[in-house]
Amino acid sequence: MHRLVDLLRGHGENVAVLTETHRLTYAQLADRVAAAVPGIGDTRRLVLLETRNDMWTLVHYLAALTGEHVVLPVPAGRDHATMVQAYDPDVVVADGAVHHRRRASRHRLHPDLALLLSTSGSTGSPKLVRLSHTNLISNATAIAEYLNIRESDRAATTLPMSYCYGLSVVHSHLLRGAALILTDRSVMDEQFWDLFRRCRGTSFAGVPYTFELLERIGFDTMDLPTLRYVTQAGGRMAPERVTRFAELAQRRGWELFVMYGATEATARMAYLPPDLALSRPTAIGRPIPGGSLTLEPLEDWADDDVGQLVYRGDNVMMGYARGPDDLSLGKTVDTLHTGDIARRAPDGLYEVIGRTSRFVKIYGLRIDLQQLESSLRAGGITTFCTSDDGHLVVAAARRHDASAVQRAVTEATGVPACSVRAVAVDELPLLPSGKPDYPTVRRLARGAGHSTVTDLRELFAGVLQKDPAGIDPEATFVDLGGNSLSYVAMSVRLERMLGHLPTDWHQRPLRELETMARPVTGRRRWWASTLETSVALRAIAIVLIVGSHAGLFELWGGAHVLLGVAGYNFGRFCMTSVPRTERVRHLRSTIAWIAVPSVAWVAVVMLLDDDYTWTNLLLANKILGPHDSMTAGRLWFVEVLVWTLVALLLLFWLPGLDRLERQRPFAVAVAFLVVGLALRYDVLGLGLGREAWFTMLAFWFFAIGWAAAKASTTLQRAAVTAVLAVALHGYFGSTLREAMVLGGLVLLIWLPTLRCPVGLTTVAGVLAEASLYTYLVHYQVYELFPRHPMLGVIASLAVGVLLTYLLTLLRSRFSSPKGTFGRQSASRSRQNVDLGAG
């Protein structure tokens, strides 16, 4: 039972795991695993494990194996009702907790069975691959041997642990005492590469789509001095792309391993040595150590060097499981008929040239086209399904809407909608023999000029008031012109669709988000919603602001929390990797989206009463006065925010400062924080006293948020937290107020997202989305209810929400695809910055 723990402990003080916040040696990892074993149970059971690339998942996966349980890994953030219903696991490890469904297993589990993996993640079938301890060890040993994994290696987890490829990286590195850099960040995320460099990463793995992303982000120019090798599997990569990356590897001093495998072989069956990647980019290479490949003759093939590829080795699965009764079976498979048609070259290398059965592999998912047709037919859609140029191609009969067909295929397979070409036909095309005419299906799909969109693309179009057909799947939310208001709306709606909202979703291309999108079937768990902390703080703060001003209660500090949130989102969304001119344009647009409605509201109020003066109209009342008016400070938050952004726009227009920030983002943020603290402690001797709370001297709250956004290590976050705590001490002269501000901003620094009930997420999203307009109008609204502060607060919030809705509707009318404003301003001029609502 404890052999695995002993193996880990045998690597001693070698670094085992690195994350953004933790560093564990093998001895420490062994201790954590041993401590987690009793929590899973001492009776051998079937354990369903929700996986993320994090410490919790790794420890509990290893603990389950140590306890000799049978592990069924599934990706986190999805609905696993079908799998739970089909296999009835005894234990579910999810949401940071171990849920015991029963104390003893109701299953008969074969003694050799260790792991169950999905065959394809494709058509909703519960068919699983049964893998033994021998399978896992033999494949990890072979991989470690041909990759020459060393104790000094550090591999980043670019693939999910629920996927055999991602899990093989974990197994092979732990076997050799090497380190894992655990992260769920995308290779598109600049912070992934920051972590990779900081941890001195030596390798990472990718499917073909990963390499498409690498080309888009300028991987060929990246400085990665410790990179030793890169592996590719999960489907055939275009030979020309293999050549490009092999040439890049040769120039930059690292190696490219192109590999071939299947879940049924635990992971790997063949590999192409790096020295052959340039000369033989079409080949899958040679068998892995301990394995062998042969060709089985095929009918209608005259070439003796061509046949069905058959693999033998200790890593070949025990067999398939189609239900819980199969978990008691021993090994039923000795050889693996891959279904691939391959050619063996004179030099012994194999090249796959086709398929014997109707399987395709897209985005690392193996799709059974026959089962897909059956699945769609069961849903009332009669189709012929094939593939063409890396896409699923589907022809549907009886006048089905192509968009609906595409969504059905996406739901059934899990591939992104941009990889599905659907066409509606009156009758499905047949060959004279009566068999499906798949070449005609491909021609029809090409001729249709596929333009269907998914629910996700329609969501982006609806929130951003854009034409769905004009949305580029390679664009991010930032690229598509998201603004401060649409960011909140999108984050809440997107979480409902994805089930789990990645912290960097705004920087991921739509195409990548589509790969995560899954329909939520069945009954969602009431606690399973994710809410961004910045959104939650905006909602809470606006309620506190309105309630305190209306006299319902006195809980001050909401506006200062919002100033910190504004700085946090400035760091996240304005200080991105886009060119300097784009940064400036985005900042200018952000200022307009805050200032224009603020000035417009002041103008309206000035027509009705004398609350505001011409200095309010300039958003400069705190600068120009008059300072003795009862309403002088009402808009101080908007004024401070707008003029802070104006100053930063002018500063970052300077090429030198822009360049420095890109090189040292945290250091630059800290430098501005130092300036803010100098103002906070009145180094200049201005002697403003209490008035400093509500002037530009409160800039240090903004700077704290900015520094928090750029803090990428535990030490940096701890330093920002310490500075916050010290600077807040005695600032307001109110312990409660200081504690509230401290609590809110500490949450922002350490906890980017919160788990909360779905209904609460919706309410928070609505309030946060309306927070700017609520802040502007609440002074005039709650005064209408002088004796009923509760009504005043409710009315203020309701008016803010209603005004937000009406203005969004108005913008939608003017930004339709036919309008000039929609084509130019709404689509290109706004930056996704969650700053505007106060």
Task: Pick the closest to residue 66 from 91, 24, 14, 31 (CA basis).
Answer: 31
| Same domain, residue pair 438 and 574 | no
Q: What is the pLDDT of residue 550?
A: 93
| Same domain, residue pair 419 and 557 | no
Please indicate, yes or no, if residue 586 is contained in any of the structural domains: yes
Helix/strand/coil percentages in the chain, nearest 5: 50, 15, 35
| Same domain, residue pair 430 and 561 | no
Separation of alpha carbons 755 and 760, rounded Å: 10
Residue carrying structure tokens 């051998």 = 44
Q: Which of 407, 423, 447 is the last residue of a domain?
A: 447
Q: What is the pLDDT of residue 593?
A: 85
Q: Which of 447, 473, 495 is the last residue of a domain?
A: 447
| Same domain, residue pair 442 and 560 | no
Give one word for 625, left, alpha or beta, with left for phi > 0 and alpha for psi -120 to 50. left
Given a contact cutoff of 8 angstroms between Cβ atoms, the answer to whether 641 and 563 are in contact is yes
The pTM for the full model equals 0.51
| Same domain, residue pair 588 and 721 | yes
Q: Which of 447, 465, 497 is the last residue of a domain?
A: 447
- 719-728: Cβ within 8 A, 24+ apart: 720/749, 721/746, 721/749, 721/750, 723/673, 723/677, 724/749, 727/677, 727/680, 727/700
Cis ω for the linkage preceding 429 (within 30 of 0): no
**CATH code of the domain in which 413 resides:** 3.30.300.30
Separation of alpha carbons 334 and 314, rounded Å: 9
Ranges of beta strands (E only) in 380-477 are 383-388, 391-396, 420-424
In Å, how far from its chain's centre is CA 784?
45
In Å, how far from its chain's centre is CA 771?
26
Q: 716: which residues sit within 8 A by CB, 6+ positions away?
A: 666, 710
Separation of alpha carbons 646 and 445, rounded Å: 51
| Same domain, residue pair 620 and 739 | yes
CA distances from 397 to 382, 418, 443, 444 (A): 6, 21, 16, 13
Given a contact cutoff of 8 angstroms between Cβ atoms, the answer to whether 522 and 79 are in contact is yes
Q: What is the pLDDT of residue 825?
A: 29
Please indicate, yes or no, if residue 781 is contained in any of the structural domains: no
Domain count, the chain: 2
Q: What is the pLDDT of residue 581?
A: 82
Other Cβ atoms less than 10 A from the Cβ of 657: the count is 15
Q: What is the pLDDT of residue 511?
A: 65
Please indicate, yes or no, if residue 569 is contained in any of the structural domains: yes
What DSSP element (H or E) covers 264?
none
| Same domain, residue pair 595 and 723 | yes
DSSP code per residue over 756-798: E-HHHHHHHHHHHHTHHHHHHHHHHHHTT-TT-HHHHHHHHHH
The low-confidence residues of the chain, meaning pLDDT below 50, are 1, 121-124, 432-433, 449-454, 518-527, 815-838
Q: 517: which residues sit within 8 A by CB, 6+ positions away?
A: 410, 416, 454, 455, 456, 497, 498
Start-to-end CA span in the chain (Å): 56
Reading across the β-sheet that carries 292-296, which strands appear in turn? Answer: 292-296, 306-312, 335-344, 350-355
Please indicate, yes or no, if residue 765 is contained in any of the structural domains: no
Please indicate, yes or no, if residue 92 is contained in any of the structural domains: no
User: Helix count (H) and strand count (E) of the chain?
Assistant: 31, 27
Burial class (CB in 10 A: 0-12, 13-18, 19+), 634: buried
Burial class (CB in 10 A: 0-12, 13-18, 19+), 31: middle
Please indicate, yes or no, if residue 163 is contained in any of the structural domains: no
Task: Pick the closest to residue 239 from 324, 352, 90, 158 (CA basis).
Answer: 352
Residue carrying structure tokens 């592996």 = 231
- 462-467: Cβ within 8 A, 24+ apart: 463/489, 463/490, 463/493, 464/490, 464/826, 464/827, 465/811, 465/812, 465/815, 465/816, 465/822, 465/826, 466/815, 466/817, 466/822, 466/826, 466/827, 467/816, 467/817, 467/822
What is the phi/psi pair of residue 360, to 5°?
-130, 155
Instruction: List 231's β-bridge partners, or say none.
Output: 205, 257
Residue carrying structure tokens 């002037």 = 695
In the structure encoding, which two tokens stand for residue 29, read together? 């990892």
Separation of alpha carbons 209 and 103, rounded Å: 43
Give one word for 682, left, alpha or beta, with left for phi > 0 and alpha for psi -120 to 50. left
Please indicate, yes or no, if residue 635 is contained in any of the structural domains: yes
Q: What is the pLDDT of residue 179?
A: 97
Domain that holds residue 622: 549-756
Residue carrying structure tokens 């052959």 = 276
**3-state SS, residue 68:** coil
Q: What is the pLDDT of residue 837?
A: 32
CA-angle at 651, arms to 646 and 656, nearest 5°: 160
Interval 62-107: pLDDT, tens: 999 999 999 999 988 777 888 888 899 999 999 889 999 998 899 9
Please indicate, yes or no, if residue 120 is contained in any of the structural domains: no
Burial class (CB in 10 A: 0-12, 13-18, 19+), 294: middle
